[in-house]
Amino acid sequence: MGIPFKLAMSFLYVLGICISFLGNRNWAFEHRGNVVGTAWRFGLAHAAGYLLNLALLTVFVDRLGYPHQWVQAAAIFVVGGFLFVLFKLFVFRHGQPDGNQV
């Protein structure tokens, strides 16, 4: 489509964040804590995931010359696993001191 791969990754990453917050909060982790605090941590986790994805593309495509399609395919699993751990331990942890329960 002629879109630079880093720009496409950035746009799709933000779109995925917006779509996944409610699904993860309500179904995957069944979290009932404070929405604002949880959304803030969710955003921080995704910022870390974005930087990891960007670093993988930069190192393996720009520096080592691998095809960006294959690197991004692998990065989906690497970043996905990284985010699951962050969600479980940092974002949607049970018994967190978030203030009011919603």
Q: How far apart are CA 3 and CA 1, in angstroms?
A: 6
pLDDT bucket at 100, cuts 50 / 70 / 90: very low
Model pTM above 0.85: no
What are the pLDDT digits (tens) for 12-55? 878 888 788 867 766 666 666 666 778 888 889 989 998 999 99
How is the chain split into domains, by residue range? 5-91
